[in-house]
Structures are given as C-alpha cells and as structure tokens.
C-alpha cells in the first residue's frame, strides 16, 4: 500500500465508459448545431467533466493527500485568469477594427 | 548488488512516508512536470482563443476536417475516431497500472503494448491529417480555409500534442522493457508504471481540450 495508490478496477471501467459517452456527446453537440450561446458553454462543461474524471480516477488525484491535490490544482487557476484577461481583450481589438474600417 | 536494490525499494517507502504529499519524489516530480506542461498548453490555447476572437472570422473545422465516404461529407469523422482511439488508450493504460499493482508481469506488458499500439495509431491518423491538409495547400503562413493564423495554430497545437504522444510511446516502451526483463522486480517496486501512466493520461487530458477548443468550437 505504501508504494502507490490503489483504485478498484470497476471504477476504471466506469470512468472509461463515461469518457466514451461524453466524447460522443461533445461530437453530437457540434453536429446538431446547438444555438450559439449554449454550444460553447455545453462543450466547456463536458470538457471539464472529462478532465475532472481523468484527473480524479485515472491519475489517482482523488486518492492522494489533500496537499498534493492543492499543489496541482491551484496553479491551474492561472489559466482561468488568463482566459478572463485576454479573451475580452481580443474582442475589443476586433471591435476597434470594425470602428476604424466599417 | 542485491543490497543496493533492496535499498531502492526501501527508499521508495521511506520517502513516501516522510513526504508532505505522502508520495514518492518520483511521483511528485512527474506532477510538477505535468503542471508546468499544462500551463504551456494552456497558454497556447489562450493565445489561440485571443487570436481567433480578435480576427472575428475563422475556418470552419467541421468542413476542413470532414471525411468523404460514398460521396457524402461526414464532419470531423477522423477527429472523432482519433478521440476514441486516445480514450481507449487511456483505458488500457489504467488496466496496465492495475495489473502492475497485482505484480502481474505478463498482463502489465500486454496492456502497455496495447496502449503503445493505440498511441501509434493516433499518431498515424495525425500524419494522414497533416499530409491531407499540406497537399491542399495549408502552411503555417497560409491556408485555403480561412485566416492564415488557422494554419499556424493547427500545426502548433496538434504538432505539440502529437510530439507528446510520440514521446509517451517511447517512454512506455522503456517501462514495458523494464517490466519484461525483471528490472522492476529487482527494484521491488512497480511504481514506475503508475508514474508513466500519469504522463499518458495527461496527454489524453490535453487532447480533451484541443478537441473541444480547436475542432468543435
């Protein structure tokens, strides 16, 4: 037990199945043309669900000590900050082009 | 020689118990690498998003990556197949790690080999995709589908990820060899398989976001 983290095989198989289902769901969200504000929201939700399951079960993070979980997850907040900082900036640049050359 | 090997297994255990993360330093270092690599990929994706939003128009990936079967255009079929291959490889990797904990040498090597084969199939699909786009004129500075940045980000994002898959296959081959020739038995610990698994699952994790942000958006 000291050498690693043991996860029951059943749990692996359940997560595996869910990853297939969610991948297919993401593909269908794209194919059936979900209306605009909802499509990116749904896709990001599905992606985050998949990411959470891979990290928690496949990468055993859910079975590690809380200190390791914080050490891994906390730096990733930086990505949320970058997204919030830069995407509206990109939109503003697009907007300024539209004003300069109508 | 024998004492040195026993000491290594002891070291795994001692360090794990003393670590504030209650994990071996090998595993902690892999996590450090993964966090750094995640921030690198994240920066690439944010830069791609920024560029795409500031241009306002983009190529339609559903059309660019469609396959033609029997005269009908099926959107993103190759990408969907690649996603399923990579998810499958994550599953076989997880079973490989589980077999390693049972110290089942044969099954561990079998699942690691399956994972490597799926990884190589994924890279093969990517080679097909790249050559398809390149023969149709896509370059990092120009492409027939949309703004020139589409080609640049396509090659950067999928190329960087494909390189990770290829490195992962080499990494798994080395680990599988160490399992097969008894190196891990002599060390008294199969944790190397779990650590290699962390890397492989991370590569799958990155694909989830490239698939979502680059191909589906």
A-chain residues within 8 Å CB-CB of B191?
3-4
B 97-136 residues inside an 8 A Cβ radius of A: 98, 101
Q: Do A58 and B76 touch (CB under 8 A)?
A: no
A-B C-beta contacts closer than 8 Å = 153
Q: Do A44 and B49 touch (CB under 8 A)?
A: no
Give the pLDDT of residue B46: 97
Give the pLDDT of residue A1: 39
Give the pLDDT of residue B16: 82
Instruction: Kindly report the CATH number that applies to the domain delimited by B26-216.
Output: 1.20.120.80
- How many other CB atoms are found less than 10 A from the CB of residue B37? 16
Looking at the complex, does the CB of residue B67 fall below 8 Å from at least one CB of chain A?
no
What is the distance between the alpha carbons of residues A17 and A39, in angstroms, rounded to a whole number?
A: 23
Give the pLDDT of residue B106: 96
Confidence check: pLDDT of A34 > 50: yes
Q: Do B16 and A2 touch (CB under 8 A)?
A: yes
* Residue B72 backbone zone (phi > 0: left; psi -120 to 50: alpha; other: beta): beta
Q: Do B217 and A40 touch (CB under 8 A)?
A: yes
Return the percent helix, strand and coil in chain B, to nearest 5: 80, 5, 20
Give residues with Cβ within 8 angstroms of B150, minimum separation 6.
Answer: B58, B59, B143
Burial of B45: CB neighbours in 10 Å, binned 0-12, 13-18, 19+:
buried
- Binned average pLDDT, 10 residues per bin, chain B of 217 residues: 64 80 92 97 97 94 88 89 96 96 95 98 97 95 95 97 98 97 91 96 97 94
Task: Provide the Cα torsion A13, A18, A23, A28; round to 10°.
Answer: 140
Burial of B65: CB neighbours in 10 Å, binned 0-12, 13-18, 19+:
buried
B-chain residues within 8 Å CB-CB of A89?
50, 54
- pLDDT band at A33, cuts 50/70/90? confident
Q: Torsions phi, psi of B72, nearest 5?
A: -100, 140
- How far is residue A82 from each of residues A40, A75, A90, B45, measured CA to CA in Å? 18, 12, 12, 10
Looking at the complex, does the CB of residue A45 fall below 8 Å from at least one CB of chain B?
no
What mean pLDDT comes out for the span A41-67?
A: 95
Give the pLDDT of residue B18: 84
Give the pLDDT of residue B187: 87
Looking at the complex, does the CB of residue B180 fall below 8 Å from at least one CB of chain A?
no
Tokens (6 digits) for B60: 């339609």
Give the pLDDT of residue A100: 57
Ordered by start, the domain boundaries in chain B are 26-216
Confidence check: pLDDT of A2 > 50: no
Q: Torsions phi, psi of B56, nearest 5?
A: 90, -30
Give the pLDDT of residue A31: 87
Give the pLDDT of residue B198: 97
Q: Do A83 and B49 touch (CB under 8 A)?
A: yes
Give the pLDDT of residue B114: 98
B 6-35 residues inside an 8 A Cβ radius of A: 12-13, 16-17, 20-24, 28, 31, 34-35
Look at residues A45, A28, A64, A57 and name the one whose alpha carbon lies nearest to residue B91: A57
Q: Do B62 and A30 touch (CB under 8 A)?
A: yes
- List the single residue in A with minimal CA-CA distance to B49: A87
Q: Do B46 and A71 touch (CB under 8 A)?
A: no
To the nearest whole angstrom, how far is the Cα of A1 from the nearest Cα of chain B?
9
B13 vs A82: which has the higher pLDDT:
A82
């Amino acid at each position: 037990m000291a050498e690693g983290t043991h996860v029951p095989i059943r749990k692996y198989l359940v997560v595996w199945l869910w990853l297939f289902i969610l991948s297919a769901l993401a593909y269908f969200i794209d194919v059936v043309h979900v209306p605009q504000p909802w499509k990116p929201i749904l896709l990001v939700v599905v992606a985050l669900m998949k990411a959470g399951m891979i990290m928690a079960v496949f990468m055993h993070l859910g079975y590690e000590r809380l200190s390791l979980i914080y050490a891994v997850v906390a730096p990733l907040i930086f990505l949320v900050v970058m997204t919030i900082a830069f995407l509206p900036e990109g939109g503003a640049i697009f907007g300024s082009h539209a004003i300069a050359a109508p | 020689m024998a004492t040195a090997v026993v000491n290594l297994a002891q070291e795994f255990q001692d360090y794990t118990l003393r670590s504030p993360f209650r994990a071996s330093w090998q595993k902690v270092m892999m996590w450090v690498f993964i966090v750094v690599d995640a921030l690198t990929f994240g920066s690439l994706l944010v830069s791609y998003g920024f560029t795409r939003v500031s241009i306002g128009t983009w190529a339609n990936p559903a059309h660019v990556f469609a396959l033609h079967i029997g005269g009908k255009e099926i959107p993103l079929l190759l990408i969907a197949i690649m996603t399923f291959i990579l998810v499958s490889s994550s599953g076989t990797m997880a079973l490989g790690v589980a077999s390693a904990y049972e110290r089942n040498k044969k099954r561990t090597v079998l699942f690691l080999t399956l994972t490597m084969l799926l990884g190589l199939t994924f890279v093969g699909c990517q080679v097909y995709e790249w050559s398809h786009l390149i023969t149709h004129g896509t370059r990092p500075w120009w492409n027939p589908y949309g703004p020139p940045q589409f080609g640049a980000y396509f090659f950067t994002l999928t190329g960087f990820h494909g390189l990770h898959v290829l490195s992962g296959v080499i990494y798994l081959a080395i680990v599988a060899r160490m399992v097969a020739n008894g190196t891990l038995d002599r060390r008294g610990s199969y944790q190397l398989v779990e650590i290699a698994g962390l890397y492989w699952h991370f590569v799958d994790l990155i694909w989830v976001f490239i698939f979502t942000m680059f191909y589906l958006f």
